[in-house]
Copies of this chain bind each other. A is one copy, B any other.
């Protein structure tokens, strides 16, 4: 029987294994996971810290035992140390005890994920400075909040994870400062939309320090962090969360001479195959094809990891599947501020060589007379000449973010801004004004094209 070895038991790896276990052809499945958990929802960690999810076990979609019951040989606490392409074997180390052995494969699936960026700041190893990537990270933050009742938290980095941790820490009653070295939070948005996020954060009571680089940390005599040192002075901190994003884990692949792409992730084709026959990769460790910029990008996101893992699972078990690429859609919320984006920003589109036109409009989430509607801003980016939609961004209150999906489907299909403005979207007073803000933004952008 074909023997499939999977490195990494999280979203991509376990999706691949689960899909392969019910594939057209029977395969033997071995999964190596160096941690204690499988199939856990990294994206759910901030909500555990925030107290919205009470039991960290809820973040585990499927335990090793459940996977084993499906015939998958999951080996927990075992780390793959190297890949021997020649012999088609991996070197495995059993973390408890240190025993090593080799395991053969016909197909190898690399699903090693990504790791938080952790610059070599002075005293970054002080107590109370956390990344937020694994269940133990989240449990540790929760325990520190319970045990030490910290008052002031500093979040380093104003991107997705940073903002989600702002919400979590505010829910736990901490005063939160965000330090961001750029002059806007959410650098995946254009500056004008980033400014709206900044305004929203400040309205939530966040002390937002933009254009402020971190220089290091002050450590107290007890070994705990005391302050964050920046060019603009010290920021007192009882707790620090690093939210500088992640970097694909590619060491194993690179050492086996598997090609790493220009965006820093493992290079794969649409089948999620690496350049080495029978070696596949999926999830946060790979780069994906961006359908609008036509360039490879590294985007760590559970939904891509799941889809890519499924594609690999089908391909190693007798079916054929392709991952069609990404368009950079993302949504998040912090308190009452919702954020959505898809495609390219104005800045990204220009740098990808497009002649760009864009417009931003202010709207509301509901008919003007219907109670509790929220304000929202919609920016639409299109290509001059063709009018093709290149991207969109939304910042607003409740029900703002997921409006990005209609625009995402339009960007995917290369619709024009004009045609989007005429679309038959769902309308009723509790859900949108008679002209939804997304339609108006597209129409206005279309008018600018003429």
Contact partner of A402 (CB less than 8 A), chosen from B164, B302, B333, B431, is: B431
Q: Tell yes or no: A331 within 8 A of B by CB.
A: yes
Contacts of A401 in B (CB 8 A): 426, 428, 431
CB of A428 within 8 A of CB of B329, answer no
Whole-angstrom distance between the alpha carbons of A249 and B435 in the complex? 24
CB of B429 within 8 A of CB of A47, answer yes
CB of A431 within 8 A of CB of B331, answer yes
Q: Tell yes or no: A166 within 8 A of B by CB.
A: no
Given contacts A307-B422, A427-B303, A428-B331, contact A369 B53 (CB under 8 A): yes
Contact partner of A43 (CB less than 8 A), chosen from B47, B301, B307, B367, is: B367
Contacts of A415 in B (CB 8 A): 409, 413
Q: Tell yes or no: A410 within 8 A of B by CB.
A: yes
CB contact list, A284-316 vs B, under 8 A: 301-304, 306-307
Contact partner of A329 (CB less than 8 A), chosen from B307, B331, B409, B424, is: B424
Contact partner of A434 (CB less than 8 A), chosen from B11, B324, B325, B435, is: B11
Contacts of A430 in B (CB 8 A): 47, 333
Q: Tell yes or no: A353 within 8 A of B by CB.
A: no
Question: What's the least CB distance linking A9 to chain B, in Å?
Answer: 16
CB contact list, A387-430 vs B, under 8 A: 399, 401-406, 408-410, 412-413, 415, 419, 422-430
Contact partner of A427 (CB less than 8 A), chosen from B164, B302, B371, B422, is: B302
Q: Tell yes or no: A194 within 8 A of B by CB.
A: no
Whole-angstrom distance between the alpha carbons of A431 and B301 in the complex? 14
CB of A324 within 8 A of CB of B419, answer yes
For A372, give the chain B residue with the smallest CB separation: B52
Q: Tell yes or no: A115 within 8 A of B by CB.
A: no
CB of B44 within 8 A of CB of A329, answer no
Contacts of A329 in B (CB 8 A): 424-427
For A398, give the chain B residue with the smallest CB separation: B399
Contact partner of A426 (CB less than 8 A), chosen from B58, B331, B431, B435, is: B331
Q: Tell yes or no: A340 within 8 A of B by CB.
A: yes
Q: Tell yes or no: A128 within 8 A of B by CB.
A: no
Question: What's the least CB distance linking A50 to chain B, in Å?
Answer: 10
Whole-angstrom distance between the alpha carbons of A394 and B258 in the complex? 44
CB of B424 within 8 A of CB of A327, answer yes
Contact partner of A408 (CB less than 8 A), chosen from B327, B331, B425, is: B425
Task: List the 9 shortest-distance A-B pairs measured between CB atoms, nearest first.
Answer: A331-B426, A409-B409, A303-B427, A413-B413, A405-B406, A58-B369, A329-B424, A302-B434, A326-B424
Q: Which A positions have Cβ atoms within 8 angstroms of B?
A: 11, 41, 43-44, 47, 52-53, 58-59, 61, 164, 301-304, 306-307, 323-333, 340, 342, 367-371, 399, 401-406, 408-410, 412-413, 415, 419, 422-432, 434-435
Can you list 19 pairs linking A and B with CB atoms under 8 Å apart? A11-B434, A41-B367, A41-B429, A43-B367, A43-B434, A53-B370, A59-B369, A303-B427, A303-B435, A307-B422, A329-B425, A331-B426, A340-B426, A399-B399, A401-B428, A405-B425, A409-B415, A409-B423, A410-B413
